[in-house]
Each structure stands twice: as C-alpha cells, then as structure tokens.
Structure 1
Amino acid sequence: MAGLNFGVDCGLWTLMAQNSDKPQKVGELAAELGVDHALLSMLECSTPGSLCGQSINTLQARLMRHLSAMGYLIEIGVDEYRLTNYTRAMSIPVIGNGYLAMLSCTSSGPMRFHEFCRKRGWVNPTDAKDTAMMYAYGTTMDTFAWQQSLGYGTHFNDHMRGYALGFLPWMDDNFYPVKERLIDGADTDPDAPFLVDIGGNVGHDLELFLGFFPIVPGRLILQDLPVVIGQIRDLNPAVLRMEYDFNTKQPVKGARAYYMHNILHDWPDDVCEKILAKIKAAMKPGYSRLLIHEHVIPETGAYWEATALDMVMLTLLSAHERTHAAWYNLIETRAGFNINKIWSGGKGSQCLIECELPINGVV
C-alpha cells in the first residue's frame, strides 16, 4: 500500500500512463516528477548529485521493485518497468485518489478493529459516536470530518464518483424506468422540485442523470454540507446547489423524488431512522417518492464487493450494508414507509429501493 499510495500522490502512475506502454526507467521518472527535490528536503541533504541523491532514486527503485514482484508492474530490465492494467487504472483520479481518501487517514481503523472489539466485549458495534476508526486515531470526529481535517476531502469526492464505474446507471431504462415512475405525473411547473439528491457530494449522480434526461419537469437540487458544496468546481448550471445537513429539517417540500446514494449505509439504524423522518415530513402523500441507492445483500451468495463495503462500514463507521430483511425492518417497520419495489441493475450492482408514504397511515 505504501508503494501504491506513493505512486498516486507523487504523480507516478499518471506520468507512466501518459508515457504509454514503452519501458520506463526509474531515474528518468524520478527526475521528471521532481521526486529527488522533495525527498532531498525531507532528508536535509543539499548537495546536488551526491550519494544522497542516488539514495533517493534507490528509494523509488525499491518501491517499484517490490510492486513489480507483487505483480503491479512489469519488470523490463534493471530499474525499468511498464504499467499493468491495475497501476494504469490508478492514474484515473476516481480510482487513484480513492486509495488516498480511504487508506491514508482511515486504515488504522481496520488494523486495530480487533482491539476495539476486545475492549467492548466482542459485541457488534452500532454506535455512530464510537467507531474503530475513532478509537484507532484517538478522535471524536467521524470518518468524513476526519478526512476533511487531514486534507483528503477532494480525494473522497473522486472516490465517490468511482461507484458508477463498471455498473449500469440507475436511470438507465434497463435498471429503473424513470419516465414511467417519475416523469409521468410530475408537476410541470419549471420551479417545482423534481429530484433532490440528498448528501449528493459534488453532483456526480445528477450530472449522470442529466446525460440520460437533459430535460425534466422541474428542478434538480443537490444538497450537501457547506464544505462539500464549496469544493464543487464544475457542475451543470441546471443543478441547484443547496447547503444542507440531512440531520436537520428538509427545506425542500413536496419533491417528486428524494434520492440518497450510499448515505444510510454510513449510519446505524437509530441515526437512519432520524434521517428518514426528516425526509418523510417533507414528502407529499401519493406523489413524492424516496429512492435509496445501495447494496441489498442476499441472505446467501453475497457478492464480494458488497461484503467488502460492509467491512468498511463496520470498521470505520459502526454501520453496515443491509440485507433484504434489514432494509424492510429499517424502512417499513422503523421508519414507516412503504417499499414499492427493489430494482436491480444486475449481479454485483447496487439496487434502487423505491419507497412511498403509507396510504392512510397503513404500512
């Protein structure tokens, strides 16, 4: 992990990808990246061309030699390598920056999870204010605040974009029939709220939605915390940006749809129940729908990406990916919604859970 993260942060994978498939020498890469200068400062060596400079190239060579031995690089000759598809992919920000966001400032949580559990009597963690990550780093900040405090907020934004890679978008007709379920029957007033993306980060899901439906009845609204909204650099002007904390009263009333992607899996049931209550109070009976975009883990034959994400939730947030039964318990029994249908985008894909307010109070 040290070598892979090093390659992301210093730009090694990006440079090698730009250089295409030709064999690339460690010394030339180090010189072009300016790695020598940065490491010379750290090592307090100020003599250009000295043995200290040679040791720096050796450091990069050591990292690349190990990554080659592990299969992440292809060794061509002495200190000469080519990328594999794996390290080439790490030149893409939504992949490479995800390593920094999810490992650089949180990885001690999983590594010390056993200690955290031992000290708490080996019980399943369900307290959002007491997590293995908080224990490992001695902080009261949750994962998201902790990442921001260490300067990895924008890296996390890239990581969130990565969830769409390789899977059918939820707004594709082969996944969820947007026209039939949302557009038909929607308020045609151009100022009416059509789709509200709650906790939508920097707007990647709404950008994707606009690619499928560039014209919709009403407004597209992106909601997230001020620090996240402030990190938006490029977003379609058709999307209204709104600073909002989903633990507070929902300001947008009567939208056609309220959408949450990978929000509820970050929190235990008691917190989710409060989040859902805020949305429920804003919804219009018989009109508004709640769309929850997350994994629905089957009782048997679970897909590895879903179970891996469950381990992230377990060790960083004291939360979990939910099974079919767990979703019904949370959404219907605890939060008081009706689940109309759970739509799937195929094997390994996250699902879209469509919910409505109960009719006459009957769930």
Structure 2
Amino acid sequence: MKKKEQSSAAAPQRNEISHPLQNHPHLLDIQARVDDPELSDLSELMEFNRTTNCAPYCCHKSRAIQFFEPICLNVVITFKIPDILQEHPLGMHIKEIGEKAGVDHQKLGQIMRLLATKHIFREVATDRFANNRLSIQLVSSNPLAGHLSLYNEMIKAAMMTVEVLRNSNQKKIEQSAWNRMTGSERSMFEYFEEGTLESERQGALFALGVRGWNNAVQAAAVLSDFPWGQYPPGTIVNDVGGGIGTMAMELIKAFPNLLLKLQDRPKRIHQAETEVWPELLPSAIAEKRIEFKAIDFFVESPIEGCDVYYLKHILLHWSDEKCVRILRNIRAVLKPSACILLHDYVLQHTNRDDTRTPQADSALTLKEAPEPLLPNYGAGHVRQYNLDIAAMVLLNGRERTIEEFVDIAGKADLRFAKLWHTGEMAVLEFHPA
C-alpha cells in the first residue's frame, strides 16, 4: 500500500526561529496583528543595511532586472502551482507539475528555480519542488494571490512612463501610462465599468485584489490603533469609495457598536451586495448593519446623516482639484459633530527639515528614523513610494505629504484635528471648519 505523504517539517512553535524554507506557515504569518513596531524597525534596518552595503554597479544591475520576479510570480499564480503542490507536501517533479498545470515543464522549471532562489518554493531534490511558508501564501484561495496578479498589467503600463513624461500636458487621469498601454480613452475605473468580458474580469480582480493588498500593508492595524470602540452604539460609518467593502466588513466584525454604509461605483456595489457579502458575512445583511448604495462622488454627496465618513486609499487616485471636489461633496452633508477620516500612506521627504519647530508643528510631525538612516527610513519604507509611482502609472495620481492633505482639506472647508498612526499607514481626522 502506498504510504500517505507526510511533511518532513513540523509546524514551528512560538519560540522557534522562523525561516522561509519551513514548509508550514509560521505563527507570525497568521496572527491578526503583524505590525509590531519593533519588528518593523528591525526590518527597516536590515533593508537599509542590504541596500547601502552593496557595490553601486551590482546594486543598479540587480534592481534593473527585478521585474522578472513579479512576472514569475504571475506565472505560478495563473497556473495555480501552489495549489497543485498543496496536495504533495514532499514535492513533485517538475515534469509532473508541468503536466498537471498544462505548461511546458522546462520553462516552468526555470521559473520555479528563480523563485526558489528567492526562497519562494523549495527545491527538495533535483527538479523536485514543494511549497514553503512563502509560496503557501500564493494559493488561489488567498486574496494576496489576486492582488499580486494585478502587477502583471502594472508592469506593462509602467513601460509607457517615459512616453507620458515626454508630454508634460498629459496630466488627466485618462492620459496615464496605463491608458497608453491599453489604448483606452477612459480612466481605469471607468474601463472596469465598460461591460466587456475583459473589463469585467479585470474590475472584479482589482476589487478582490484589494483584500490581498489590505493584508500586505497591514491595513487592519486601523482596527486597533483608531478608537472605534469609543463611539456610542448605533454610530454610522460611511465607507466612501470602499469597493466591495473589505474594511467595512472588518469594522462590522470587530465593533458591534457600528453600523456601516458602503458606497462606490455601481458595478462594485452590485458585486458587494450580490456576491461578496452574502458569501462572507450574510449576518450583517440580515441584521441590517450594512447598507449598499452606488455613488459618483464627483457629482453627488454621500448618504446624509452619517457620523463618520471613511475614505481609504481614495485621494491618491485623483488630482488635487478632484480631491477637493470629493471632500466638498462630503462636507455638504457633514454634521457639526461628524468627521472625515482619510486612511492612507503619508509620505515623508528624504531630507531632515531643521527649520521646522517641533512644538509648533507637533500635530504634523511623523516619526523620523535616527541617523544614519534617512528620516523616512529609506528603503525600509519604500512600499509607500512604490505605491506613489503605481498611482502615477495607472491614474496619473499620487500619494501626499501631511501638509498636502491638510491643504486639500482646507480648500474643502475642513479643519485638521489629529493624525493617528496605524501600522505603516495613518489616519487623518478632519472636522467642519
């Protein structure tokens, strides 16, 4: 009788050192809170050391070819290689993997070996591969896999950046590098609404990919770092531009005192109301703790009478002018006691500003790294600067500094109240001026 395959590695205990070659997920991979400040600082210091202690030629050469890694990730996600290997913890020969996936095994082997070299998958014997704690995260049931798939289109669009920059007048959202790549004359979000099979597929993939992005950037830190629990029972939170309601869902599960409204473009609201929520959190619908309503936040105000208007990763998509328009439409229905919360990355400059008075600007001050690190932690915090470029490539958008957020809000008759640190992002609280 053929023996059932068993994993050669035992699941790690809490006090064991985690290593990417382990076959089982580490406890840190599945904990709800993964943004421990000390671990974050250590990671940033390690990245600084790796980046600076490298010959310039080698550093630039390595970075120039890093785009092959997301391409390889897209291949294994598309053909569900991690799913195939889940059933074979001791590994499979590359010929078997290729046959099951319907892919040329020799080319797949080249791709798998590059990823294994970066500690994604294990080559347990010659041409025999198995999952490890990193590749396990890429199974199709994990939203992270959907999010990473988006980078394939982003890479194609990014190649058009030079052409866009040659024309300094191309600043509209529908004149981005993504538009150059696709040939579309509409913005990416409008394209998702066109109704073709491909636009429907990409729009749904983008919406689901946001769930994976939230995990990657520790967006759930806002659940513990912002005082949602202090609001009285029946507090109404409107997740404006909330997609399929990923964060709204987490708020409902964590805080019984909150009622949620979810507003976004019609197709995303339809997807949320008819597919996502009935499957993942039907109790919220039954208990009437969630209301769905489509909106075009450039031409209309959101639902009136809410206590909190929450916008996560919204303003980075739009020009200053359109951001002011969004905020003004919310301001038009904002009660004196209500507030607007902007949940986003807040960029820091790479220089130290010795002219700033800490006492006068304490509300506008973000944590700075000690020397010799750059004040914004340099490569250790590079993700938010990558997202800044992604917004530019896809939508001619950008991330902003705290001063820029405050300036935009001021033009919408809003007063800055407080900045809340939430993991690697922040929440900026605004009240009626």
TM-score (norm 1): 0.80
Identify the residue that residue 53 of structure 1 maps to in structure 2. Answer: none
- Taking every aligned residue pair, what percent have the same amino acid on both sides? 20
| Contact 2:269 2:292 (8 Å CA) reproduced | yes
Identify the residue that residue 52 of structure 1 maps to in structure 2. Answer: none
Shift of 1:83: 2.8
| Residue 211 (structure 1) aligned with residue 253 (structure 2) | yes
Instruction: Give the one of 178, 181, 186 matched to 1:141.
Output: 186
Shift of 1:170: 5.0
| Contact 2:154 2:390 (8 Å CA) reproduced | no
Query: Structure 1 pair 221/335, CA: closer, same or farther in 2 (3 Å)?
Result: same
| Contact 1:5 1:99 (8 Å CA) reproduced | yes
Identify the residue that residue 29 of structure 1 maps to in structure 2. Answer: 97
Q: After the TM superposition, which residues 176-191 of structure 1 pair with which residues of structure 2 at under 5 Å, given as runs?
A: 176-180=226-230, 183-184=231-232
Shift of 1:355: 0.8
Query: Structure 1 pair 8/145, CA: closer, same or farther in 2 (3 Å)?
Result: farther
Task: Give structure 1 regions of 4+ aligned residues with deviation exceeding 6 angstroms.
Answer: none
Identify the residue that residue 78 of structure 1 maps to in structure 2. Answer: 126
| Residue 324 (structure 1) aligned with residue 414 (structure 2) | no
Shift of 1:58: 3.0
Identify the residue that residue 150 of structure 2 maps to in structure 1. Answer: 101
1 CA distance for matches of 2:265 and 2:229?
A: 30
Identify the residue that residue 292 of structure 1 maps to in structure 2. Answer: 342
Q: After the TM superposition, which residues 104-123 of structure 1 pair with which residues of structure 2 at under 5 Å, given as runs?
A: 105-118=153-166, 120-121=167-168
Shift of 1:337: 0.4
Shift of 1:128: 1.7
Query: Structure 1 pair 244/294, CA: closer, same or farther in 2 (3 Å)?
Result: same
Instruction: Give the one of 155, 159, 162 matched to 2:209.
Output: 159
1 CA distance for matches of 2:314 and 2:214?
A: 15
Q: After the TM superposition, which residues 7-46 of structure 1 pair with which residues of structure 2 at under 5 Å, given as runs?
A: 7-20=76-89, 22-33=90-101, 35=102
2 CA distance for matches of 1:155 and 1:99?
A: 10
3-state SS, counterpart of residue 85 of structure 1: coil
The one-letter code sitting in structure 2 at the alignment partner of 1:220 is: L
| Contact 2:221 2:422 (8 Å CA) reproduced | yes
3-state SS, counterpart of residue 209 of structure 1: helix
| Contact 1:108 1:137 (8 Å CA) reproduced | no
2 CA distance for matches of 1:179 and 1:66?
A: 46
| Contact 1:171 1:209 (8 Å CA) reproduced | no
Instruction: Give the one of 379, 385, 391 matched to 1:313.
Output: 391
| Contact 1:101 1:147 (8 Å CA) reproduced | no
Worse-matched range after superposition: 203-212 or 86-95: 86-95
3-state SS, counterpart of residue 291 of structure 2: strand
Shift of 1:280: 0.9
Shift of 1:16: 1.9
TM-score (norm 2): 0.68
Identify the residue that residue 2 of structure 1 maps to in structure 2. Answer: 71
1 CA distance for matches of 2:427 and 2:401?
A: 13
Query: Structure 1 pair 108/328, CA: closer, same or farther in 2 (3 Å)?
Result: same
2 CA distance for matches of 1:102 and 1:144?
A: 16
Q: Which runs of 5+ in 2 are unaligned?
A: 1-69, 278-283, 351-374
Identify the residue that residue 43 of structure 1 maps to in structure 2. Answer: none
| Contact 2:93 2:129 (8 Å CA) reproduced | yes
Count of equivalent residues: 318
1 CA distance for matches of 2:142 and 2:192?
A: 17
Q: After the TM superposition, which residues 191-270 of structure 1 pair with which residues of structure 2 at under 5 Å, given as runs?
A: 194-216=236-258, 219-232=259-272, 233-235=275-277, 236-237=284-285, 238-270=289-321
| Residue 337 (structure 1) aligned with residue 414 (structure 2) | yes
The one-letter code sitting in structure 1 at the alignment partner of 2:407 is: N
The one-letter code sitting in structure 1 at the alignment partner of 2:263 is: Q
Identify the residue that residue 356 of structure 1 maps to in structure 2. Answer: 431
2 CA distance for matches of 1:249 and 1:6?
A: 42
1 CA distance for matches of 2:137 and 2:186?
A: 31
Identify the residue that residue 39 of structure 2 maps to in structure 1. Answer: none
3-state SS, counterpart of residue 130 of structure 2: strand
3-state SS, counterpart of residue 75 of structure 1: strand
3-state SS, counterpart of residue 208 of structure 2: helix
Identify the residue that residue 50 of structure 1 maps to in structure 2. Answer: none
Shift of 1:71: 4.6
